[in-house]
Structures are given as structure tokens and as C-alpha cells.
Amino acid sequence: MLLASRVPARAGAVALDVGCGRGELARHLAATGYRVDAVDYSPAAIAAAQEETPAHGDSDGVADGVVTYVHLDIERDPLAALPQPAYDLITFRLSYAFVQDRTRVLHRLRERLRPGGALCVITPVAGAVPPGKRGIALDEEEIALLSAGWDTAERHDAEGLALLVLRGPLRTPVTYGNRGKPAPHALTGAGAVVTDETGRVLLGRSVHGLCELPGGKNAGGESFVRAAVRELEEETGLRAEAADARLVAMVMDEIHGMPRVTAAVRITAYTGAPVVREPELVRRWEWHEVADLPALAGGLFVPSAHVLETVWPGSLPGLPPVHRYHVVEAAPS
């Protein structure tokens, strides 16, 4: 297997297989010398994998106890539940495309790689699957984003699958970008800052490759607060009341010589779960740790960056110039 040749097991090496399913890759890694922790969000998958893993002394050489199966949702459960604090190899086999909060999960798993370790993703490529199956695959933009922020990123392709071998995580500074010259009537708008119960902030990965807050321009006669609440529901499906939204500040920068005004709106209560409702604008919504923002791969939309810096002062270094006018104290994070 190509994976075993690129990341051979050293003495005492430990691997983490994320989204292990029925345990095929976990058992293969164990047979090549790794001690393996295999996790999956599905209790049925874990039960099947345990049943199919041979006991000590079986003919394929996988010893009882070399693979430890754990029922764990890599996105929602604390990683403290993992059996080991650090790993020499972390793998995603046909599972990475199903991770919603990819940026945050990747940051947390990078922190658990031992020096010299590798994170490997085996994934279908969008160009090699039928249009109706694109949800199980990564396109070239997603593959490039996944490969960013590593000292080395190897790619091997075979029969519609890509094997990515990523080593040496780097903390590169976030960049800031815009989306082209806006129409004059679109130069006022609102950015909605929404956090989950753990304090993670919601950002969308736009079709332009930048991360941005929910929000957009306000209609004629519409307040910034009501615009933020409306745009939040239109873009993400999350529903909030205007009473639960607070205008924190107005920020003004310039683009193509024109002044641009963005209202920073903090929304403190909502119902629902984020979904992509405007796929022509946003590829997916993710919850991000605020501490990860300074190293966000792909960059931040400038007005969103200014709004985030308003709510969490000092979180984003090197921002473009802006005038900031505070209206009320930011709500507790």
C-alpha cells in the first residue's frame, strides 16, 4: 500500500485513524507496525470494526489490543477522550470530505502530531466522481487549502483518489482580501458575529476563497441590526430576533477609492444549525476558535476581519487601515 511506503512505522509508533468505519485501514496500519487508535462517530461502525478485528495470533498478524476502537465524534467531542496525547501518524481515509468544521479540526489535530509525524488524507477527487457524488470528494481548491500551512505536502494520485501526506505544521499569518470592486449602492452593510456554546465564531468559506462572517448590505430604510438578523437567516438558516442583536461599532475603510461602512453586530441568541443556503456565494459554514483566526488559511474578507477585531480586540494583527466608531460595549464572548 502506498501509504505504508510513505509513512513507515518506527519503533513504538502510534497512529490515529479518524473516521475509521469498519476498521480496514486501522488493521492495515497495525499489521505494518503501528499501534492504532481508531475513532468514528458511529457506534455501529465501531461495533462492526471490533467484531472484524482478529484476536491475538490470527494469521494476518494483527494482535489483539494493537487497534483500540473509540466511539468519538472528532468535531463535537473533546479530544481529551483520545487514548494518546500525541501521534506519529493521523489518517483520514474517505472521511475528510464529511467534516464540516475542517479548519478547526485540522488545527486541533495538528497540535497532536509528534515531531516528524505526518497527517495523511486519502480522498476522492471531485473531477473523478459523478456530479451527484461531489459531496464525498474534494475539489482542487479544497485540496490546496488543506495542503497550505505545512512545511511539506506530498500528493500521490491513483484511480480517482488523492493521497496527501502533510508534514511539519506551520503557523502562517492570516492574509486579508477583498472580492473586487463593489457597486456604489453596496458600500454599507452589516457583519454578524455569532458564537456557539463554546465561544467558537461562525465563518463561511466563500466561493472567492476567503472566510467571511454572515452578513451583507442593508436594504433602504433597514437598520443594520435587522439587516444582520435577516442576512444570517438567508445565508445560514440560523434564526435570531432583533432583540438579541447588538450594534457594537461602525467601521469604515476604503476600497477602490470609495469609503465602505460596515456595522459590527453581535448576535447573542439564535436557533437552528448552520446550512449553506446560498451555494453560489458560500461553500460551507464552519465554527472557528478565535485563537485560530491569526493563522486562518485562505485569508479573511477585510470587512469581516475588522468586525472580528472589534469584538475581540488584538486578535488579528496587521489589519489594513480602518476608522472604528464604538456604539456599545461588546457583549460577553
Check whether 229 has a pLDDT greater than 80.
yes
Q: Report, as an integer, the average pLDDT of 197-208.
A: 96
Check whether 111 has a pLDDT greater than 50.
yes
Grid coordinates representing 7 are 509513512
pLDDT recorded at residue 257: 86
Is the distance from CB of 327 to CB of 250 less than 8 angstroms? yes
Check whether 331 has a pLDDT greater than 60.
no
Separation between Cα atoms, residue 163 and residue 3, nearest integer Å? 8
Go through 262-284 and write b for each residue having 16 or more CB atoms within 10 A of its CB, e for each that does not: bbbbbbeebeeebebeeeeebbb
pLDDT recorded at residue 53: 86
Is the distance from CB of 297 to CB of 110 less than 8 angstroms? no
What's the first-to-final CA gap in the chain, in angstroms? 47
Q: Report, as an integer, the average pLDDT of 45-59.
A: 78
Phi, psi (deg, nearest 5) at residue 234: -65, -35
Segment holding 227, helix H or strand E: helix 224-236
Global pTM value? 0.82
Check whether 13 has a pLDDT greater than 70.
yes
pLDDT recorded at residue 83: 95
pLDDT recorded at residue 172: 87
Check whether 164 has a pLDDT greater than 50.
yes
Check whether 275 has a pLDDT greater than 80.
yes
Is the distance from CB of 294 to CB of 173 less than 8 angstroms? yes
pLDDT band (50, 70, 90) for residue 55: low
More confident residue, 112 or 185: 112
Residues 6+ apart with CB under 8 A from 93: 17, 19, 20, 21, 24, 25, 122
pLDDT band (50, 70, 90) for residue 26: very high
Is the distance from CB of 108 to CB of 75 less than 8 angstroms? no
- The rounded mean pLDDT for the chain is 92
Is the distance from CB of 168 to CB of 20 less than 8 angstroms? no
pLDDT recorded at residue 278: 97
pLDDT band (50, 70, 90) for residue 62: very low
Q: Which amino acid is at 301?
A: F
Q: Which amino acid is at 35?
A: R
Check whether 48 has a pLDDT greater than 60.
yes
Separation between Cα atoms, residue 158 and residue 182, nearest integer Å? 42
pLDDT recorded at residue 185: 59
